[in-house]
Amino acid sequence: MLFRQMKLILILRHAKSSWKETGISDHSRPLNRRGKKDAPRMGQVLFEEDLVPDIILSSTARRARDTSGMVAESSGFEGDIHYLESFYHAWPSDYLDALRNLSGDIKIAMIVGHNPGVETLLEMLTGEDERLPTAALALIQLPIDNWSQLTDGAEGELLNLWLPRTLLE
């Protein structure tokens, strides 16, 4: 009998960014006060749920880099965060391409990105039409043994969706 080892994807939309600073590019926008509070809270969720990822893949945008760093620190993640330019304004295919190249020993992968790409990716992988506000975290189980098997019709299951506004302080 074959034992199927499921893969898990954590999809995290970057935390809330600031629009206060004028004259900076969209790519350089920092987190605002709420974003700086929400990002560590989502990392705590990962720690409490025993879902600390094996790898974190993040957009290079400052708000995504800051979010992934805070989540990594508060979750106890000890690996390197991989920053990918292709995740800035990414299409679902950009996320899938990066995930397909992961090593087979990685069980839990986290991506940190932007809308509309992350919402579309979630729908593509699960068939669920869920809104992902800033700092929302989705957990998807995929019926694959190896990341190279990941397709846009993977028939994954949305196991949980955490929204910062619904978490207790």
pTM above 0.95, yes or no: no
- Residue 113, SS3 per DSSP: strand
Average pLDDT taken over every residue of the chain: 91
Q: What's the rounded Cα separation, in Å, for the pair 85 and 38? A: 24
Model confidence at 1: pLDDT above 60: no
Average pLDDT over residues 14-21: 80
Q: What's the rounded Cα separation, in Å, for the pair 128 and 110? A: 19
**Residue range 61-100, pLDDT digits in tens:** 999 999 999 999 999 999 989 999 999 999 999 999 999 9
Average pLDDT over residues 108-123: 96
The pLDDT, as a whole number, for residue 84 is 97
Q: Alpha helices, DSSP H only, in 101-153?
A: 117-126
Average pLDDT over residues 5-25: 84
Which tokens is 155 given?
């028939």
Model confidence at 17: pLDDT above 70: yes
**What are the structural domains, with CATH classification, of the chain?**
7-166 (3.40.50.1240)
Model confidence at 32: pLDDT above 90: no
Give the amino acid at 149. Answer: Q
Contact call for residues 152 and 92 (beta carbons, < 8 A)? yes
The pLDDT, as a whole number, for residue 116 is 95
